[in-house]
Structure 1
Amino acid sequence: MGVTPTHLSSSQRCHTHPPIFYCSDEKHQGKTVVLVLQGGRWLLQGHDVQVVSTHYNTRAASRMIAGQLGMALSADPTPPLTPGTVVLHHYDFNREADVQQAVTNLLARVKDGQLHVLLDEALFSSSTEYGPRNTSLVARLAESVPGLHLWAAGVYHTDIPPSLRPEPLTVPLRYAPSVLREVQPAVDKATGQVHNYSDSGVPAPGDGLRVIRLSHHGNAHRGRWPVECQQCGKEVAAKLRRLGVGSGGSSLPNSPTPLSYRDVFIITRSSELQDDIKDAAGQVTSRASGVVRGLGDEGLPVCVLGEQDWRHNRARVERDVHDVAVAATDRVTVTHYDYVQGLERRVVVMVPGWDKETDEGRSDEMIDLRDRLFAVSRCTTQLIMVDVPPVTTATSTAT
């Protein structure tokens, strides 16, 4: 911990002259790792680190950062200075009152005129209600704390607040070339939103594992999208079994480490993803999505994080997000990608779906590109893609 990545300039390595503002405008390339490294440096310098979550889609990343910083402290029995502490703050900036509460709480943490803040998955876009409130938080802290050190990551470079100095992170730090090739089309198409990748100058040790492809096609498959399909869930489960997930072993080449259920993300963008919804008496009022039922049929232990679950049992989803962030329970996570922003897994299964609020009028190509940018990039080792055939009379009328 505390090692500054070599792609940052010398001016970013020196933190003796605050304020220092940092903003990564790239998505899913190791930016959370950079925040953890910087937070570790601050801790070992004796500073308290404030990890701030301002919205539900930052919960998992913030919990993971706080957890990893805590582990870094415990792993160093003889730090050169008395280390600082990690403080995790949770807010919901859909509520205006939470902005003032966040400012009040953070200003109370100022020590010797300094404040050290990490803000992951920070969206400042005016297209959301909470984006301008993130901007307000940064501006008010900058105005009130001359010694503010604030690093924010996951920011589109078209929405950077004036208080932040941009430092693009364009080197993919985490995934193999085989996964990068699946993400690259989305980067190419996201003109004006995401910078292209740059060469790290260090050759990759290998191309990575071949991408496994399944198809949402055939008589047993139902629904327009794989997330609706029980058979897709069964086939995904069978493939995970063949990879050795949950068996105490691993069939991944050159991987002696066993694959656990907790090493797997099954990701979709469908707003309809859900587990069984139950009433107060425990009766099922709405059945789980088809892919979830298929996984259950094959005996996979799953944790489902979907929009419908959030609406019906927010307390449970908050608990499960924490569980997923620290990989506490050995379960496969089936999730909308909003709930795991900033997290990665060794095995990622991309299960296409449809978001009724955002995908209306979008082509299948554009939906696919968003899946690649926001979900495929969660993978570090083995990627599994469930392909959707083009719309035909046969596929569009299947039920």
Structure 2
Amino acid sequence: MVLQGLRWLLQGHDVQVVSTVYTSRAASRMIAGQLGMALSADPTPPPTPGSIALHHYDFHNREADVQQAVTDLLAQVKDGQLHVLLDEALFAGSVSGQRLTTLVARLAESVPGLHLWAAGVVHTDIPPSLRPEPLTVPLRCAPSVLREVQTAVGRYRGVHNYSDSGVPAPGDGLRVIRLSHHGNAHTGRWPAECRQCGKEVAAELRRLGVGNGGNSLPNSPAPLSYCDVFILTRSSELQDDIEDDAGQVTSRASGVVRGLRDEGLPVCVLGRQDLRHNTARWERDVHDVAVAATDRVTVTYYHWVQGLERRVVVMLPGRHKETDEGASDGMIDLTDRLFAASRCTTQLIMVDVPPVTTATSTAT
């Protein structure tokens, strides 16, 4: 996406980077930031390169945003042409997907010279005005990480399986580190609720050399910074401290967040509750994470960082109360692997949760 956008810019075309849902905010901000850096770093820029515009909408909650997006984008048409990038696009199975399909159809009808690139993990219900181009060769994950992701990819509806690149990997990569949400010091059903899990994850990150200017990852070219780490979950229990208008804390941060901070790690938290209680701060933090502006470990609901990658990813199992009722543990695990483990390029850390057992007795 960035390479195509840069090509348009160097040809003198303005590029519209569009996010239609909150789950594509980070990716759109990352693309816009990378385009700006690449354009400024070009040693021989054209006399009049194109400009970059970032457009954010909420198709999930606001139907009126579809017409607003059409109006905004049609206003950017120049000489009958419009150049649009849509990352983390999902056309299938949701109201926001149907509205995105409407947006693409309206633009295709109105702009003969429409150049629109959309990327997403699910390939079903693609509008007829778009030509599908499957990209299935893994480019950045180490083989040890890729095996964990492949467990889900081949079984998740609407997702293409990986294909063989034909080029053997130079090595298997680092072994996956496994921790356990188990033992007397651990509390809560899921790791996001557990202060001890935060402490143990912090200890593992310290062992890897995160944040100390050194590096314990073999054959890695640069020290590990805090901003090289994602801690990802789908748990609805994840949140930062929530404050009222007077600045008083009304609800404490999740246990895992407190455990990380107990051990001195700087943390940015992007939970679902944080979006609801302080949208402006959430938007600022998403921008910060997308461009890695601040050296902090990011602890987040994993759909908020779709399209982003980090060298170290910690995967915390969990469930979301509003959406996961009736879903099997196996289905949740597939989703975790597809959307969390896939964000990892080098070192994957998985926190295992023991199954719930129900004791039974028989009267005799």
Q: TM-score, normalised by structure 1?
A: 0.88
Secondary structure of the residue aligned to 1:267 is strand
Secondary structure of the residue aligned to 1:348 is strand
Structure 1: distance between partners of 2:346 and 2:91? 31
Q: Which of 88, 102, 108 does residue 136 from structure 1 map onto?
A: 102
Q: How many residues align?
A: 358
Q: Which of 333, 342, 351 does residue 368 from structure 1 map onto?
A: 333
Structure 2: distance between partners of 1:310 and 1:80? 40
Kindly state the Cα deviation for residue 256 of structure 1 after the two structures are TM-superposed. 3.6
Structure 2: distance between partners of 1:256 and 1:341? 25
Kindly state the Cα deviation for residue 272 of structure 1 after the two structures are TM-superposed. 2.1
Structure 1: distance between partners of 2:121 and 2:344? 20
* Residue aligning to 1:289: 254
Aligned-partner residue type, residue 138 of structure 1: V
* Residue aligning to 1:26: none
Q: Which moved more, 1:134-143 or 1:247-256?
A: 247-256
Does 1:272 find its partner at 2:214? no
Q: Which moved more, 1:82-91 or 1:115-124?
A: 82-91
Post-superposition, which runs of at least 4 consecutive aligned residues in structure 1 deviate over 3 A? none
Report sequence identity in percent. Answer: 85
Structure 2: distance between partners of 1:257 and 1:365? 37
Does 1:100 find its partner at 2:46? no
* Residue aligning to 1:22: none
Alignment of 1:206-285 (within 5 A): 206-285=171-250
Structure 2: distance between partners of 1:170 and 1:280? 48
Secondary structure of the residue aligned to 1:347 is strand
Kindly state the Cα deviation for residue 80 of structure 1 after the two structures are TM-superposed. 4.9
Aligned-partner residue type, residue 115 of structure 1: L
Aligned-partner residue type, residue 152 of structure 1: A
Gaps spanning 5+ residues in structure 2: where? 360-364
* Residue aligning to 1:145: 111
Structure 2: distance between partners of 1:372 and 1:303? 22
Aligned-partner residue type, residue 303 of structure 1: C
Aligned 8 A contact 2:121 2:159 in 1: no
Aligned 8 A contact 2:178 2:350 in 1: yes
Kindly state the Cα deviation for residue 217 of structure 1 after the two structures are TM-superposed. 0.9
Kindly state the Cα deviation for residue 76 of structure 1 after the two structures are TM-superposed. 0.7
- Superposition RMSD in Å: 1.3
* Residue aligning to 1:24: none
Does 1:56 find its partner at 2:22? yes
* Residue aligning to 1:390: 355
* Residue aligning to 1:29: none
* Residue aligning to 2:362: none
Structure 2: distance between partners of 1:212 and 1:159? 37
Could you give the per-residue CA deviations for residues 98-154 of structure 1, whole angstroms, max 9, x where no partner exists?
A: 1111111111111111111000111112x3221111011100000000110100000
Structure 1: distance between partners of 2:204 and 2:122? 36
* Residue aligning to 1:43: 9
Kindly state the Cα deviation for residue 55 of structure 1 after the two structures are TM-superposed. 1.1
Secondary structure of the residue aligned to 2:154 is helix
* Residue aligning to 1:161: 127
Secondary structure of the residue aligned to 2:313 is strand
Could you give the per-residue CA deviations for residues 231-269 of structure 1, whole angstroms, max 9, x where no partner exists?
A: 000000000011111101110001241111010000000
Aligned-partner residue type, residue 324 of structure 1: V
Aligned-partner residue type, residue 180 of structure 1: L
Alignment of 1:302-313 (within 5 A): 302-313=267-278
Could you give the per-residue CA deviations for residues 276-295 of structure 1, whole angstroms, max 9, x where no partner exists?
A: 11112222211111111111
Does 1:76 find its partner at 2:48? no
Structure 2: distance between partners of 1:282 and 1:81? 50
Gaps spanning 5+ residues in structure 1: where? 1-34, 395-399
* Residue aligning to 1:349: 314
Kindly state the Cα deviation for residue 155 of structure 1 after the two structures are TM-superposed. 5.1
Distance 1:155 1:348, change over 3 A: closer
Structure 1: distance between partners of 2:141 and 2:150? 12
Q: TM-score, normalised by structure 2?
A: 0.96
Aligned 8 A contact 1:268 1:350 in 2: yes
Aligned 8 A contact 1:261 1:331 in 2: yes
Q: Which moved more, 1:356-365 or 1:260-269?
A: 356-365
Aligned-partner residue type, residue 349 of structure 1: V
* Residue aligning to 1:16: none
